[in-house]
Structure 1
Amino acid sequence: MSLTPEQQAEIDELRSSPTPTLRVVSDGIEKHLYKAIPVLDHGFVRVIDYMGDDAAICQAARVSYGKGTKSVQNDEGLIRYLMRHWHSTPFEMCEIKLHVKLPVFVARQWIRHRTANVNEYSARYSILDREFYIPAPEHINAQSVVNNQGRGEVLSPEQTAQVLEVLKADSARCYDNYQNMIDEDGIGLARELARMNLPANIYTQWYWKVDLHNLLHFLRLRADAHAQYEIRVYADAICQVVADWAPAAYKAFEDYRMGAVTMSAQMMVALRLMLKGEEVTAESTGMSAREWREFQDMIS
């Protein structure tokens, strides 16, 4: 992980000067404030600010739904009820602002979640650092033969070495050309033009602010075992933070989202027939081969 001296100085200063507040404070997330959680080879995630906690979710729910929540006797039970029945607005009462350093190709995946506020480091005004994501050998895989957007088996040591050599050489060459183009003693090209030559594995940074409801949706997709490894490790790091920030909400999220499955009507029919001891096939239920395979994974 690479923090600049200026960033580390900022973290040290902020953590050494706590200020009293009358607003809700989550002790769990306070320990994460400003600290950088390492991700990949040069990346990190750090909490800049937050609002609300488990209690804020319950407070909002009781205002919103009034008598409808009186049968729920405690905050944890209420949160689990809200999560189980797909209520969203109470979870939107909590927000978090993260500082993330990540490769550009991961950022392009991440930004597809359009329910957050983002401010990214601008290569129009500033010069990007000479830092590139180079995967570890165990994460260099062949194309999957069953999933067009996934990875298959790890490449052989010889192939892996070849890939690493290409990645390192191309990254260095692109940055050398970038530096020469923007150098006043070189070409003197505008930074906004020179950046187009940089590879997608160079690191960028942004501030990302999102409410808890939309953050959990992001985590449900990106912390899933099927997500691309390079974004999944960021999601895993954020999961650590959320588990400390709003533990009851995160536990409900684990139980009703991450640890649960969603079945189609055809799947439910097939499951009921199987429980009755009847033989069921993909053809008899009208499922496609892929859906049948997913169904088998769910019940195995």
Structure 2
Amino acid sequence: MPLTPEQEAEIAALRASPRATLRAVSEGMEQHLHHPIEVLDHGLVRVVDYMGDDAAIVQAARVSYGAGTKHVSNDAGLIRYLMRHWHSTPFEMCEIKLHVKLPVFVARQWIRHRTANVNEYSARYSILDREFYIPAPDALAAQSTTNNQGRGALLEGAEAARVLEILKADSTRAYDSYEAMLSQDGQQGLARELARMNLPMNIYTQWYWKTDLHNLFHFLRLRADPHAQYEIRVYADAIAQVVRDWVPLAWEAFEDYRLGAVQISARGVDCLRRMLAGEEVTQETSGMAKGEWREFIATWGR
């Protein structure tokens, strides 16, 4: 189950006692506050708290840049200007705190984004639940033959069944051993901080994760990308739903200038200009390495 009975009771109590506030409120975010979004088989994303909205971004920009932005006539235009020119500090005026339940191997990818405050469930003090991520059939794929960190064709039939059985059996056996080592029935029982080292990477952990909007956009640009690993991408997609409702003007600019945009190098610009002028440009005359040229052609064509 994504939430424990205690967590569900806490959420029900919070939603049953709304309070008046003088803080800026995002109506879109209020609809998400405390409501868990289920992810994978046992995971979740839940908004615990937030600060700021689109207006907070605009307010910070106008205080910071003053007359320099007066030519921008409206809030949406200003936010697009900030996004287009890579101004970051106004977006840092918005913050979000999430409760996330996720497999340990996903958490180890996620923690590489070192621009957040994190407090994780401690298996030194508490006993982890018997919950493991087991991929659905459409997420069970072979190693890619062209990308060392990607997936290839889906496993099917007996091969898929064999792998799923291994995952389930190993997870169950590891947790049985974990419980046996912790047990004080006729023995002292191993310390929790030691017993946990036997657990597999697909067991679920939980944390509170707080970050600002600028760094959250960076996280989403990388992890909501189609090339990101599926298991972290579905969490990014769930967070994106929330951000879209929280700061719709900022999200629209982010979607346009980051998610849906393409970055091009100075060499790429030069090649495009030469191609538009009618020149035949090849990888050898482009000044690009083979991989860069392949990406350039895939994006821009000949």
TM-score by length of 1: 0.98
Structure 2 equivalent of residue 173 of structure 1:
173
Aligned to 1:106: 106
Q: Which residue of 2 aligns with 1:155?
A: 155
Deviations, residues 183-234 of structure 1 (Å, cap 9, x unaligned): 1115600000000000000000000000000000000000001100000000
Residue matched to 2:199 = 198
The answer to whether residue 289 in structure 2 is matched with residue 288 in structure 1 is yes
What is the one-letter code of the residue matched to 1:118?
V
- Alpha-carbon separation, structure 2, partners of 1:76 and 1:88: 16
Give the secondary-structure state (helix, strand or coil) at the position aligned to 1:29: helix
Is 1:224–1:258's contact at 8 Å kept on the other side of the alignment?
A: yes
> Are 2:252 and 1:241 equivalent residues in the alignment?
no
Offset of 1:139 from its aligned partner?
0.9
1:34 match: 34
Does the 8 Å CA contact 1:33/1:48 hold for their aligned counterparts?
Answer: yes
Flag as ranges the 4+ runs of structure 1 deviating above 2 A. none
1:215 aligns with 2:239: no
Q: Hey, what does 2:63 align to over in structure 1? A: 63
- Between Structure 1 and Structure 2, how many residues are aligned? 300
Measure, in 2, the Cα distance between the counterparts of 1:41 and 1:274: 49
* Residue equivalent to 2:270: 269
Alignment of 1:133-148 (within 5 A): 133-148=133-148
Q: Which letter maps to 1:106?
A: V
**Secondary structure of the equivalent of 1:207?**
strand
Partners of 2:80 and 2:268 lie apart in 1 by 25
Unaligned runs of 5+ in 1: none
Distance 1:233 1:298 in 2: 25
Cα offset, 1:108, TM superposition:
0.2
Shift of 1:175: 0.2
Deviation sequence 1:13-55 (CA, Å, 0-9, x none): 1111101101100000000000100100000000000000000
**Of 130-139 and 285-294, the range deviating more from structure 2:** 285-294
Q: Helix, strand or coil: the match of 1:34?
A: coil
8 Å CA contact 2:2–2:101 kept in 1: the answer is: no
The answer as to 2:93 corresponding to 1:93 is: yes
CA-CA distance at 1:279 after TM superposition: 1.8
In 2: Cα distance, 1:252 partner to 1:178 partner: 48
Matches within 5 A, 1:252-263: 252-263=253-264
Distance 2:208 2:88 in 1: 24
